[in-house]
A and B are shown apart, each in its own frame.
Chain A
Amino acid sequence: MSAVTDYISDKLIETGSTRPVARFRICLGVLLYMRFGEELSLHAADSFWDQTFSLAYYAAAAMVTVGLFTRWALGASALLLALMYYGKFWGWYSPGWGHHHHYLLMVCCAVLAFSGAGRSFSADRAIRMYRSLPPQEERAQTWPQTLLVLQLCAIYFWAALDKTSAGYLHGDWLERVFEWVYAGNPAYEIVTNRVFLIAGSWAVLAIEYVLPVAILLRWRLNIWIPIAFALHAAFYVMLPVQTYSASMMALYLLVVDPDWLDAQIDKYVIGKAPAHA
């Protein structure tokens, strides 16, 4: 018991690089536009309230993306997404609001608002340097990052638990999903092939059960992260998942070792030789 409480206490005060949350923040800003940009655009708004909301949403998403007044922008984005997510309580609702991908964007904004996501790759940092002020250290407490990784794992576990049934393992669950999505489509015969349905169902369930364990124990991530990406890519191509797959893939920026990722970016993207070379 003491070991558990010590572990939790350490996690609560642990500090680390702010680059993972900053990278994720940039992805999140883009995802906010991807998901609601079109329906919340000014031309789609037909009342003063809708237009005000539209401008606020666009401003907040832009500030999240570039990292300007980052914490406030993330908090404002979370609030605006919450107004939409819970909008049905006051009669403000559009199809798709209240879905799981919407909730995920909202939670990511809310948790990230408490992180050091504005300390790296941000306008906040650039402005301080432009004013000849010392930039904030690129380190902060990592508990917001830990919470989001926990969210990633919780999604896999509870989604797998929901699917665990004889009907799912026989491929029937997936088949009825494909009936809605693919009936009348040229690919219908392929995706409703019984072997494909059963193999796909078992594979998805196994991967969704293993991923949270692999992520939390950091077990063979070099294998499991590519498998997770393949899973989400398949979802994205085959099903109308909105921003769900992209959000889940972006969350892996919080899982990979930031120093390793920095070294890869330096080496393969920027073309800079590692410091030790």
Chain B
Amino acid sequence: MNRFQKAGILAAAAFISLGPAIPQGFGVAQDYVRPWVMFSGVGQGTMKGTFTLTKTDGSTQTYTPLEIMSLERYPNIFPYEFDRLLLDRDAMTPIVSAFCSERVGQGDILSYAGLVGAQNGWALYEAEDVCPKDEQLLAEVRS
């Protein structure tokens, strides 16, 4: 074994053992260096809480996030393929728009209180009147 082969093997050993420090230790996203962060993104944007629909007559009804999305389970796909995760505040619209157009009447208010999956666990989240106000958007959903 010559010195170049030895250097290559040692470089491979260093890359395997210390390479993940680049994306994980220094936070530098690098496509060619693998971080070992399995399942760190799974569940981010999922909701664990209660939607409350308050009718104009004052009566209330509660729903789980899955019920709001008309789902029995989250689909058996990679989480990042699912387009109804609450990863930012604007993301509430695709989650609730179908429910709002079908079940929420004029003057009714749909609100959410609970948790949202975040980087290291959960984040508290509360939002009042989450249905989109854009009539054109609701019309598109209805169509």
A residues at B contact (CB < 8 Å): 8, 12-13, 86, 89, 95-96, 100, 103, 107, 111, 141, 143, 146-147, 150-151, 153-155, 158-159, 161-163, 165-168, 170, 172-173, 175-181, 183-185, 239-241, 244
Contact = CB atoms under 8 A, between A and B. Distances in A.
B73 A176 contact: no
Query: Chain A at the B interface: mostly helix, strand, loop or mixed?
Result: helix
Interface stretch (B29-37, B53-61, B94-102, B132-140): B29-37
Interface in B62-78: 65-66, 71-74, 76-78
Contacts of A166: 120
Given A147-B9, A179-B46, A170 B121 contact: yes
A179 B9 contact: no
Nearest to A163: B40
Most buried by B among A141, A166, A179: A179
B117 A167 contact: no
Most buried by A among B48, B72, B77: B48
Given A95-B81, A154-B20, A183-B66, A162 B37 contact: yes
Interface of B: 1, 6, 9-10, 12-13, 16-17, 20, 24, 31, 34-40, 42-44, 46, 48, 65-66, 71-74, 76-79, 81, 117-122
Contact of A95 (B24, B42, B78): B78
Contacts of A150: 13, 16-17
Nearest to A96: B78
A159 B72 CA distance: 31
Contacts of A170: 121
A180 B120 contact: no
Pick the 9 closest A-B CB pairs, nearest first: A172-B121, A167-B120, A167-B121, A176-B43, A176-B117, A158-B36, A184-B73, A158-B20, A180-B43
